[in-house]
Amino acid sequence: MFQLDLKSRESIYEQIINQMKELIVSGVLKEDEKLPSVRELSKILTVNPNTVQKAYRELERQGYVYTVAGLGCFAASMKDVKRDEAAISQLTETLRSTLRQLTYLGFTKDETASLLEQVFREEQLKAEEMKKGSERA
Amino acid sequence: MFQLDLKSRESIYEQIINQMKELIVSGVLKEDEKLPSVRELSKILTVNPNTVQKAYRELERQGYVYTVAGLGCFAASMKDVKRDEAAISQLTETLRSTLRQLTYLGFTKDETASLLEQVFREEQLKAEEMKKGSERA
Amino acid sequence: MFQLDLKSRESIYEQIINQMKELIVSGVLKEDEKLPSVRELSKILTVNPNTVQKAYRELERQGYVYTVAGLGCFAASMKDVKRDEAAISQLTETLRSTLRQLTYLGFTKDETASLLEQVFREEQLKAEEMKKGSERA
Amino acid sequence: MFQLDLKSRESIYEQIINQMKELIVSGVLKEDEKLPSVRELSKILTVNPNTVQKAYRELERQGYVYTVAGLGCFAASMKDVKRDEAAISQLTETLRSTLRQLTYLGFTKDETASLLEQVFREEQLKAEEMKKGSERA
DNA sequence: GTGGTCTAGACCACT
DNA sequence: GTGGTCTAGACCACA
């Protein structure tokens, strides 16, 4: 279910956040479906509960999940996801920076465009597979 | 010449690296042209010399500049820039992740594509301006 | 009759307490009228009986209801409600803190005052409606 | 400088957040002025560094401070404070609930209004005193 | 059982 | 020195 890479530069709690977003957005976790509890997930991933907690808290702050103390953490409606300007402008800045880096490395516009196309296709395939996987289950 | 943003989440030495790359790749700094010394640049930017030092070392490692002991740091030939797979695969991973984040926020494929197109154009304009600016000088 | 919001940060038993107070103070529940039993209410609200139990205990402690063993829980006379200093001082502290937070967000005195006026009016309307509703019944 | 109440229902990191907001909004901490470091403040308050860190992080998220890794945490411009709807609607809800509680305790509208007036005046006086205190220093 | 807070350490990257 | 992340425990209130 989860793939953590301890060697990655992405911190553990960020990896948890992103993979959980993937599950929620792709619909594997339906609205109001319960997420694994903090302790449960921490055992599965052999990570400290605090690390999972940190991820869950950030997910709640961004509107992907909601929390009921004593009951657990649940997938929110996609309508509740906060599409705030700050997040978007930050992502476009990252996008800009990444594209710039690629041109520094000598990538032509065409090379970059085809790379983009490839990434797009891969993501789409991945999303479809996740959906099928959850439907089969 | 340099625009440092202390409030940015990008670390200072990364900002220096990226802006120096910009200057080299765009041709503002010609091949074999001398870069400002570590001390000089650290005074201009009012940052710690160690920070500039670190940026220069990384630029050298990536082949953007070369160092001559006792003389200073010089812009390398663009042929020397290491187009190493590691850097590229890391950048594509960042790209992939960024695009994913955008879809999480509800961006459709079209919206994302047009955002990309826009970023592309902006970067191209910026590059052209820098070129003109350095030609005028 | 009851509106529980699981997504709220107010705990469930607090929501029960507050809404029951509303019913008692507004007169929808007359003096000495029987409240639904713990089991009954827990089924209606689909919450844990312990949660309802806890709410009822707290309501009794504050003097809003009284319990007769074997018979159930009844609305107390409003004279019995404990207007204890502790509760009041805590509420004023909360009030103070909330108003402070608003000024932090840049609310001017006028903005805050008009917000207060609005909240006041809404609460009054709500109280009147509840009264009418119970008189019609 | 700081007054922590370990017995309070308000958690430690929330107390730190609120008191720091007070200092920033009242102008005791000027724009771009450095806050005490995480470790420093944790020693002063005899609290765990993680607790202070949690507070600082939340302050940054809300726009009251900005962080430069390796340098420290600095007071942000008041323009950067995020006046987002979520925060405001939550505060009005708290306001509503508090006023309701007061009416339950038998407070008349007049009593509540005068209480409000009093809170307002106290806050204003406090703000003026803090300002004078910091000007004297 | 659940999440929320807290302590007392540790290691890392950056300035 | 700075903040950022993480571990390994603990205690609390709530359901």
Tens digit of each residue's pLDDT (9 = 90 or more) over A92-101: 888 888 888 8
Contacts of C83 in chain D (CB under 8 A): 105-106
Residue-by-residue pLDDT tens, chain C, 137 positions: 688 999 988 999 999 999 999 899 888 999 999 999 999 999 999 999 999 999 999 999 999 999 999 999 999 998 887 777 777 888 888 888 888 888 888 887 788 888 888 888 887 787 777 777 777 76
pLDDT band at A137 (very low <50, low <70, confident <90, very high): low
Q: Write out the DSSP string of A40-98.
A: HHHHHTT--HHHHHHHHHHHHHTTSEEEETTTEEEEPPGGGS---HHHHHHHHHHHHHH
**Strand E reaches within 7 A of the B54 CB:** yes
Across the interface, whether the CB atoms of D104 and C10 are under 8 A apart is answered: no
Q: What angle do CA B17, B18, B21 make, to 5 degrees?
A: 85
Across the interface, whether the CB atoms of D123 and C116 are under 8 A apart is answered: no
The residue whose CA lies nearest the C1' of nucleotide E1 is: A70
Say which CATH class A12-80 falls into. Answer: mainly alpha
Lowest-confidence pick of B18-22, B29-33, C112-116: C112-116
Q: What is the mean pLDDT of the segment spanning A3-28?
A: 93
Residue B121 scores a pLDDT above 90: no
Report the distance separating Cα A79 and Cα D6, nearest Å. 39
Tokens of D110: 């007049």
Chain C nearest CA to A32, separation (Å) = 10
Residue B83 scores a pLDDT above 90: no
pLDDT at C133: 76
Q: What are A35-94's pLDDT values in tens digits?
A: 999 999 999 999 999 999 999 999 999 999 999 989 999 999 988 888 778 788 888 888
- From D74, D69, D77, D76, select the one nearest B48 (Cα to Cα): D69
- In sequence order, which residues have a C-beta less than 8 Å from that of residue B28 and are 6 or more positions away? B22, B130, B131, B133, B134
**Strand E bases with any atom < 7 A from protein Cβ:** 1-10, 13-15
The distance (Å) linking the CA of D99 with the C1' of F11 is: 33
The distance (Å) linking the CA of D39 with the C1' of E7 is: 14
Contacts of B99 in chain A (CB under 8 A): 116, 119-120, 123
Using a CB–CB cut-off of 8 Å, the residues of B that contact D are: 6-7, 11-12
Q: What are B50-78's pLDDT values in tens digits?
A: 999 999 999 999 999 999 999 999 999 98
Sequence letter at residue A129: E
pLDDT at C88: 83
A&C contacts, CB < 8 Å: 6
Using a CB–CB cut-off of 8 Å, the residues of D that contact C are: 18, 21-22, 25, 78, 81, 83, 87-88, 91-92, 94-106, 109, 112, 115-116, 119-120, 122-123
Tokens of D67: 């962080």
Across the interface, whether the CB atoms of D123 and C103 are under 8 A apart is answered: yes
Query: Of all nucleotides in the shown strands, which has a C1' nearest the CA of A71?
Result: E2
Contact partners for chain A, using 3 or more CB pairs closer than 8 A, are B, C
Across the interface, whether the CB atoms of B7 and D66 are under 8 A apart is answered: yes
Chain A nearest CA to C134, separation (Å) = 32
Q: What are D2-48's pLDDT values in tens digits?
A: 899 999 889 999 999 999 999 998 889 999 999 999 999 999 999 99
Across the interface, whether the CB atoms of C7 and A71 are under 8 A apart is answered: no
pLDDT at C36: 95
Q: What is the mean pLDDT of the segment spanning B118-136?
A: 79
Sort C14 into a burial class: Cβ within 10 Å, 0-12 / 13-18 / 19+. middle
pLDDT at C137: 64
Locate tokens 């091949």: which residue? B31
pLDDT band at D137 (very low <50, low <70, confident <90, very high): low
Tokens of B108: 């459709």
Residue B2 scores a pLDDT above 70: yes
pLDDT band at B19 (very low <50, low <70, confident <90, very high): very high
pLDDT band at B137 (very low <50, low <70, confident <90, very high): low
**Strand E reaches within 7 A of the B38 CB:** no
pLDDT at A99: 86
- Assessment of whether the complete model's pTM goes beyond 0.85: yes
**Strand F bases with any atom < 7 A from protein Cβ:** 1-10, 13-15
pLDDT at A115: 80
Torsion of CA D103, D105, D108, D112, to 10 degrees: -80
Q: What are D73-115's pLDDT values in tens digits?
A: 999 998 888 877 778 888 888 888 888 888 878 777 788 778 7
